[in-house]
C-alpha cells in the first residue's frame, strides 16, 4: 500500500508540478492540444470553404502559441535567475558530440523555416571535452545565439571547442553593437538597447551563468564573436556509467530539436 | 504479396486531471484511426473502475499529477488487479521534473513523455508504446504522408488518399523495384475495384496537388530531377513521395 506520509506525498506532488515552468507548460499543452485536435478534425471532416478558413485560423493560432510559449519560457528563466541553475542536476556530458548533433539539428530547423544557414563545428580538443552540465541550458544558450545571428543577417555560424576548455562562437553577420556585447560579457544593460529587445542576450548570459561558463570578448575581423571559458572540473569518463541508454538519448535529441524549432520559428517569424 | 497496409490499431485509456486536455484527446482521437481512445478520464479511481469493469486497453496514458489516487498508488494497485494482459504504461510529466518523474519507471511505468507535447507526438508515443515494430513503421509512413499532403492543402474529402496510402506503404517499406501497373493492382487487391480506378484516383491527386500546393509540388519535382513547374507522371509522383518519406524515416 502507499507508504508515503501525507506530508511526503504533498512534497512529491509539488516537485511533480515543475514550478513556474511546469505550470506554463501545462497550460500551453492544453491550448496546443486543442488546436491540434481541431486541425485534425477540420482536415478530415469539414466541407469547403469552412475547411480552408478554419485551417488558416488554426495555423495562425499555432504560430501565436509557439511565440507566446517561447516568450513565457524566456520570461520564466529570467525571473528565476540564479534559481535556474538548481532546476535540474548537472550531468556528465561530452560537449563535442553534443554540439555535433546540435549543429545538424539547428541547420535542419533553420532550413525548415526558410532561413538556410550553415552551423559548423570545429573540434580542436583532440579527443572530446567532458564537463558537467544541464544539456537543456546548453541548448537554450546556443538556440538564442544562433537565432540572434541569423536575424542579424548571418548565414554562417561556427562553433569551436578548444583544447584549453573554451567554446568559441563566431558568425559572418554584420557584427554586434558594442552595447549588446556589454550585455553579454558584463551584464550591463543599456536602456536604449532594452527598448530594441536584447532579452535574447540576457537569456544567454543567464544560461551561461547557470552553467558556470564565463563569457569573454573574442576578437574577430568581421561578424559577432564571443568565447565561453568552461569550468575546469572534468568528470572522469572512465568512471562514468556509459551504458547505451538509447531511449534517453533519443529523448534528449527530441528535446533539443523542439527547443531549436520553437526558437527559430518564433524568433525568425514575422507576423 | 502480403498486404502491408492491414492497419494495426492500438487501444488506449487516457487519464489527465485537466479536463481541457481530456476533451482535446477525445476530439483528436475521433479524427484518426491508429489509436482507439477507450476513454479520457480525470481521476485515478475512474481508471481503476474502467479496468475492473473488464475493459483492457493495450496502453494506459497516465499523468504524473493525477489525483484520487495519485500515480504512485495507482501503479501499485494496477499491479494487484487480475487483468487478461498487462497494459503498457506511458507517463506524461511536466518539464524539469525528470528526477521525480523517472522514479515511476521503476514502479511499473514503461515510458515517459514530457509536456508541452503536441497531439501528434502524444499519439505517436502511444502507438509506439503499444504497437509492433512493423506497425510503427507503417504508422510513420501514414503520418508523414498526412503531413505532406496537408502541407500541400490537399482536400482529403476528394478521395483517393487511401489508395495512395496503400501504394506508399508498399514503396516505402517494401522492395525498391516496382512498376506502376503492379502498384495499382496492389492497391486494388481486396477493394472490389479495378486497377484503372486506382490510376485515375492517383491522377486526380496529382492534378490537385499541382494546383493547391505549387511549392510542395516543385519540391516533389526536384526529388525526381525534373525542373520546377513540371508535370509529374503518376509514377514520378509516387517515387518522389516515397523518397521524401524514406528520408524522413532515416531509411
Distance from CA of A90 to the nearest CA of B (A): 12
Q: Is the ipTM of this complex over 0.90?
A: no
Do B167 and B117 lie in one domain? The reply is: no
From edge to edge, which strands make up the β-sheet containing A214-217?
A: A118-124, A156-162, A166-171, A225-229, A214-217
Per-residue pLDDT of B54-97, as tens digits, reads 999 999 999 999 988 889 999 999 989 988 889 999 999 988 77
Mean pLDDT of chain A: 82
For residue A134, is pLDDT > 90? no
Distance from CA of A227 to the nearest CA of B (A): 28
Closest residue to A36, CB basis, from B30, B99, B118: B118
Q: Read off the pLDDT of each residue in A78-99 and give the average, rounded to a whole number.
A: 78
The predicted pLDDT at position B7 comes to 65
Q: Which pLDDT band holds residue A246 (cuts at 50, 70, 90)?
A: low
**Which is higher by pLDDT, A198 or A61?**
A61
**C-alpha to C-alpha distances, A185 to A77, A189, A212, A215, B62, nearest whole angstrom:** 18, 11, 13, 5, 45
Percent of chain A exceeding pLDDT 70 equals: 83
The pLDDT value given to residue B207: 92
Last residue of a domain, one of B113, B131, B149: B131
Residue B4 in any domain: the answer is no
Which pLDDT does position A197 carry in this prediction? 67
> CATH assignment of A90-268?
3.30.565.10
Q: Which among A13, A29, A52 is the nearest to B117, CB-wise?
A: A29
In a domain, B174, yes or no: yes
**Domain layout of chain A by residue ranges:** 6-85, 90-268
Question: Which pLDDT score, from 0 to 100, does residue A20 have?
Answer: 82
Q: Contact B31/A44, CB-based, under 8 Å?
A: yes
Residue B64 falls within a domain, yes or no?
A: yes
The more confident residue out of A39 and A175 is A39
B76 neighbourhood in chain A, CB within 8 Å: 1-2
A17 reaches B (C-beta below 8 A): yes
Q: What is the mean pLDDT of residues A125-146?
A: 89
**In this predicted model, which residue has the larger pLDDT, A69 or A191?**
A69
Model pLDDT for residues B182-221, shown as the tens digit of each residue: 999 999 888 888 999 999 999 999 999 999 889 999 999 9
User: What's the pLDDT at B1?
Assistant: 41
Contact B116 A44 (CB under 8 A): no
Q: Please judge whether A37 and B27 are an interchain contact, meaning their C-beta atoms are less than 8 angstroms apart.
A: yes
User: A137-141, B97-101, B204-208: lowest mean pLDDT where?
Assistant: B97-101
Say what the pLDDT of residue A82 is: 64
pLDDT at A271: 44
Q: Within a domain: residue B3?
A: no
Strands A118-124 and B35-41: unpaired
Q: Is some CB atom of chain B closer than 8 A to the CB atom of A18?
A: yes
CB contact under 8 A, A1 and B21: no
Cβ contacts of B17 on chain A, cutoff 8 Å: none
The answer on pLDDT for B226 being more than 80 is yes
Residue of B nearest to A46 (CA): B157
The answer to the question of residue B233 being in a domain is yes
Cβ atoms of residues A40 and B32 within 8 Å: yes
Q: Which domain does B226 fall in, by range?
A: 135-248
Q: Say which residue, A198 or A206, is predicted with more confidence.
A: A206
What pLDDT, on a 0 to 100 scale, did the predictor assign at position B199?
A: 93
- The reply to whether B44 falls in a domain is yes
For residue A163, give how far its alpha carbon lies from the nearest alpha carbon of chain B (Å): 32
Which CATH number goes with the domain that contains B39?
3.40.50.2300
Banded pLDDT at A85 (limits 50, 70, 90) = low
d(CA B73, CA A232): 44
The residue ranking higher by pLDDT, B20 or A249, is B20
Beta bridge partners of A118: A156
**Residue A226 bridge partners (DSSP):** A169, A217
Nearest to B88 by CA among B62, B110, B113: B110
Residue A40 at interface with chain B, using a CB cutoff of 8 Å: yes
Q: If you average pLDDT over every residue of chain B, what do you get?
A: 89
Asked if residue B28 and residue B124 are part of one domain, the reply reads yes
Q: Provide the pLDDT for residue A4.
A: 47
Confidence of residue B165 (pLDDT cuts 50, 70, 90): very high
User: B105, B131, B157 — which closes off a domain?
Assistant: B131
Q: What is the C-alpha separation between B95 and A17, in angstroms, rounded?
A: 9
**Are B29 and B97 part of one and the same domain?**
yes
More confident residue, A249 or B222: B222
Residue B2, pLDDT > 50, answer no
For residues A134, A135, A137 and A141, what is the CA-based torsion angle, rounded to 10 degrees?
150
Query: How many domains does one find in chain B?
Result: 2
Decide which of B131, B156, B181 is a domain's last residue: B131
How does DSSP assign A159-221, residue by residue?
A: EEEETTSEEEEEE-SS---HHHHHHHHH-PPPHHHHHH--HHHHHHHHHHHHHTPEEEE---S
Same domain, B152 and B99: no
| Residue of A1, A30, A134 to mutate, testing the B interface (most B Cβ within 10 Å of its Cβ) | A30
pLDDT at A86: 67
Question: What per-residue confidence (pLDDT) applies to A248?
Answer: 65
Please check whether residues B146 and B243 belong to one and the same domain.
Answer: yes
Residue pLDDT, tens place only, A10-61: 446 667 777 888 888 899 999 999 999 999 988 887 887 888 899 999 999 9
Same domain, B153 and B139: yes
Distances (CA, A) of B42 to A111, A133, B57, B101: 40, 37, 17, 19
The three-point CA angle B12-B14-B18 to 5° equals: 165
pLDDT confidence bin for A113, thresholds 50/70/90: confident
Q: Which stretch of A134-148, A156-170, A177-191 has the lowest confidence by average pLDDT?
A: A177-191
pLDDT above 90 (res A190): no
Q: Is A69 in CB contact (< 8 Å) with chain B?
A: yes
Range A164-193 average pLDDT: 84
**CA–CA gap between residue A78 and residue A72 (Å, rounded):** 10
Instruction: Note whether B176 and B199 are same-domain residues.
Output: yes
Q: Which residue has the higher pLDDT, B31 or B60?
A: B60
pLDDT of residue A6: 44
Q: Do B151 and B207 have their domain in common? A: yes
CA angle A242, B125, A27 (to 5 degrees): 105
Residue A94 has pLDDT above 80, yes or no: yes
Q: What residues form DSSP beta bridges with A93?
A: A131
Please report the pLDDT score of residue A101 as a whole number.
Answer: 92
- Say whether pLDDT at B37 is over 90: yes
Cβ-contact B198, B187 below 8 angstroms: yes
**Residues of chain B with C-beta less than 8 angstroms from the C-beta of A28:** 116
Q: Which of A190-194, A207-211, B150-154 has the lowest mean pLDDT?
A: A190-194
The continuous run of DSSP H or E covering A120 comes out as: strand A118-124
Confidence check: pLDDT of A126 > 80: yes
Is residue B18 a part of any domain in this protein?
yes
Q: What pLDDT shows up at residue A75?
A: 83
Amino acid at each position: 500500500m502507499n507508504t508515503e506520509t501525507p506530508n511526503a506525498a504533498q512534497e512529491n506532488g509539488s516537485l511533480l508540478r515543475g514550478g513556474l515552468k511546469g505550470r506554463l507548460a501545462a497550460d500551453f499543452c492544453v491550448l496546443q492540444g486543442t488546436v491540434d485536435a481541431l486541425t485534425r478534425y477540420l482536415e478530415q471532416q469539414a466541407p469547403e470553404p469552412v475547411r480552408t478558413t478554419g485551417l488558416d485560423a488554426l495555423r495562425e493560432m499555432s504560430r501565436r502559441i509557439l511565440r507566446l510559449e517561447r516568450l513565457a519560457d524566456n520570461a520564466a528563466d529570467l525571473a528565476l535567475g540564479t534559481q535556474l541553475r538548481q532546476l535540474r542536476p548537472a550531468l556528465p556530458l561530452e560537449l563535442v558530440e553534443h554540439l555535433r548533433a546540435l549543429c545538424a539539428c539547428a541547420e535542419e530547423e533553420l532550413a525548415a523555416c526558410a532561413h538556410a544557414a550553415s552551423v559548423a563545428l570545429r573540434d580542436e580538443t583532440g579527443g572530446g571535452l567532458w564537463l558537467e552540465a544541464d544539456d537543456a541550458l546548453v541548448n537554450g544558450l546556443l538556440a538564442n545565439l544562433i537565432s540572434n545571428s541569423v536575424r542579424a543577417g548571418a548565414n554562417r555560424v561556427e562553433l569551436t571547442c578548444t583544447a584549453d576548455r573554451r567554446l568559441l562562437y563566431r558568425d559572418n553577420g554584420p557584427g554586434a553593437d558594442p552595447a549588446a556585447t556589454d550585455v553579454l560579457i558584463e551584464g550591463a544593460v543599456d536602456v536604449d538597447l532594452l527598448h530594441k529587445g536584447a532579452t535574447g542576450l540576457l537569456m544567454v548570459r543567464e544560461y551561461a551563468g547557470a552553467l558556470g561558463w564565463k563569457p569573454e570578448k573574442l576578437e574577430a575581423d568581421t561578424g559577432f564573436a564571443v568565447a565561453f571559458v568552461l569550468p575546469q572540473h572534468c568528470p572522469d569518463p572512465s568512471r562514468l556509467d556509459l551504458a547505451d541508454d538509447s531511449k534517453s538519448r533519443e529523448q534528449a535529441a527530441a528535446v533539443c530539436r523542439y527547443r531549436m524549432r520553437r526558437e527559430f520559428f518564433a524568433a525568425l517569424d514575422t507576423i | 504479396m502480403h498486404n502491408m497496409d492491414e492497419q494495426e490499431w492500438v487501444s488506449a485509456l487516457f487519464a489527465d486531471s485537466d479536463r481541457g486536455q481530456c476533451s482535446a484527446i477525445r476530439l483528436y482521437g475521433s479524427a484518426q484511426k491508429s489509436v482507439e481512445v477507450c476513454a479520457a478520464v480525470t481521476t485515478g479511481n475512474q481508471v481503476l473502475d474502467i479496468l475492473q469493469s473488464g475493459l483492457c486497453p493495450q496502453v494506459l496514458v497516465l499523468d504524473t499529477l493525477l489525483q484520487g489516487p495519485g500515480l504512485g498508488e495507482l501503479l501499485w494497485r494496477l499491479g494487484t488487479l487480475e487483468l487478461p494482459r498487462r497494459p503498457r504504461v506511458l507517463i506524461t510529466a511536466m518539464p524539469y521534473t525528470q528526477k521525480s518523474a523517472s522514479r515511476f519507471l521503476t514502479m511499473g511505468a514503461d515510458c515517459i513523455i514530457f509536456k508541452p507535447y503536441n497531439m501528434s507526438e502524444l499519439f505517436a508515443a502511444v502507438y509506439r508504446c503499444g504497437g509492433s515494430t512493423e506497425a510503427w513503421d507503417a504508422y510513420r509512413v501514414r503520418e508523414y504522408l498526412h503531413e505532406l499532403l496537408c502541407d500541400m492543402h490537399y482536400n482529403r474529402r476528394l478521395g483517393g488518399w487511401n489508395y495512395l496510402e496503400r501504394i506508399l506503404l508498399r514503396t516505402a517499406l517494401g522492395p525498391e523495384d516496382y512498376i506502376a501497373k503492379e502498384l495499382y493492382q496492389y492497391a486494388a487487391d481486396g477493394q472490389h475495384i479495378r486497377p484503372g480506378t486506382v490510376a485515375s484516383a492517383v491522377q486526380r491527386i496529382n492534378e490537385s496537388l499541382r494546383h493547391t500546393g505549387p511549392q510542395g509540388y516543385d519540391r516533389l519535382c526536384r526529388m525526381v530531377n525534373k525542373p520546377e513547374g513540371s508535370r509529374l507522371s503518376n509514377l514520378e509522383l509516387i517515387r518522389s513521395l516515397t523518397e521524401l518519406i524514406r528520408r524522413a524515416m532515416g531509411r
